[in-house]
Every structure is written in C-alpha cells, then in structure tokens.
C-alpha cells in the first residue's frame, strides 16, 4: 500500500512524499477538516481498517497457545483459546467450506524442513460431507515427506478445515473461493 501511495506522484522521491486528505463542508465560509501524514501512516490506517491491527511477533496456532496455557495449568485460558478459535472459524463470513474451495497452508522453516506450502482442494465427499485432498506441495522431493506432506487431507468430514485451523493456525491459511481470497491469514 505504501508503494502505491508513493507512486501517485510519478517520479517523486518517496522520502519527500506526504499525503493530505481534505473534507470540505458545504455552506458559507467553506470550512475544511484535514488529515495529513506520511504514506506509511495512511497505508497503516487503510490496512487496519481492512484487516485489523497489524500483528508483530511470532504467531502461534490455537492448539500451540492452548498447550502453553495447559503447561501453565491455566484451564480457563486453555478453554477460552480453544473455544475462541472455534468461534472464530464458525463465525467467519466464508464459513463453512464449500466444494471447489482451495486452501493453502504455509509452514515456516523448522528443524525438519525448509519453509514450504501445501495446497488442498475441498470436494464433495462420498457420504454427504466434504473431503479435503492434497493438490500439491513445495517441499523438495529430496526431503523425507513421510508425515510432513498431506497430513491434513480428510475424507467425508463434516468440517474439513477444523484440524488445519487449530493445528496450523488461521495465520498460516489462505482460502480461495470462486477465484477470490476469502481468508488471508498471513496478510501484513
């Protein structure tokens, strides 16, 4: 967003670009209200309006946060985390998943592998529920794939996204419906 705002003035030096937004009120004397600032300030305001406050620091999956609460012996926090994550999933405007949805999960580099991603497709299941099938992954074939790739594929599940949502975390997921992103978990 910042780059787009800075490029509104062709050939401008980004360090010298400022933004001014003016509201001109009707009536005698033409009263004005203004906001002015730097492009990055406007970009942050726009991002916050669209996606909420930018998060800093490492994000954890709901399951990892619940495990931390469990280690602290904080049953209330553990339940709040798990119930809140479930409510966040089921109250999302795009929920429930539909046949044709595409789900991508991004994994950070860790002790077992480099960073990689998996892409799944939601399909109608044989017994009336939904299935989630692995389409592809970006883990090099030289890695030991056993247990790493495709572990979230499910057959005939009433909620194929729940394991992925809780274990990988919504911050790692991108969900596409009808060619449009409906959930962008890694947006910054």
Please tell me what DSSP assigns to residue 52. -
Query: How high is the pLDDT of residue 5?
Result: 83
Distance CA 38, CA 84 (A): 36
Query: How high is the pLDDT of residue 55?
Result: 57
What SS3 class is residue 172?
Answer: helix
Q: Going residue by residue through the chain (188 aa), what tens digit of pLDDT does each one get?
A: 788 888 888 888 888 888 888 888 888 877 788 888 888 888 888 877 776 666 555 688 888 888 888 888 988 888 888 888 889 889 888 999 999 999 999 888 776 667 888 999 999 988 889 999 999 888 877 655 666 788 888 998 889 999 999 888 898 889 999 989 999 887 54
**Domain residue spans of the chain:** 2-51, 62-184
> Do 161 and 132 form a contact (C-beta atoms < 8 A)?
yes
Query: How high is the pLDDT of residue 14?
Result: 81
Query: Which candidate, 17, 25, 9, 13, places its Cα nearest to that of 42?
Result: 17
Query: How high is the pLDDT of residue 177?
Result: 93
Query: How high is the pLDDT of residue 142?
Result: 64
């Amino acid at each position: 967003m910042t780059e787009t705002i800075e490029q509104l003035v062709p050939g401008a030096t980004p360090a010298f670009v400022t933004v001014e937004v003016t509201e001109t009120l009707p009536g005698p004397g033409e009263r004005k209200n203004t906001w002015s600032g730097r492009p990055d300030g406007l970009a942050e305001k726009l991002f916050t309006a669209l996606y909420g406050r930018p998060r800093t620091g490492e994000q954890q999956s709901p399951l990892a946060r619940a495990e931390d609460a469990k280690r602290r012996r904080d049953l209330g926090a553990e339940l709040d985390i798990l119930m809140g994550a479930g409510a966040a999933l089921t109250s999302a405007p795009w929920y429930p998943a539909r046949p044709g949805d595409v789900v991508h999960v991004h994994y950070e580099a860790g002790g077992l592998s480099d960073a990689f991603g998996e892409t799944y497709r939601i399909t109608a299941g044989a017994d009336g529920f939904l299935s989630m099938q692995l389409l592809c992954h970006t883990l090099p074939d030289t890695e030991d794939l056993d247990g790493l790739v495709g572990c979230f594929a499910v057959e005939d599940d009433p909620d194929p996204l729940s394991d992925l949502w809780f274990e990988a975390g919504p911050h790692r997921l991108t969900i596409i419906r009808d060619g449009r992103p409906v959930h962008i978990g890694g947006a910054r």
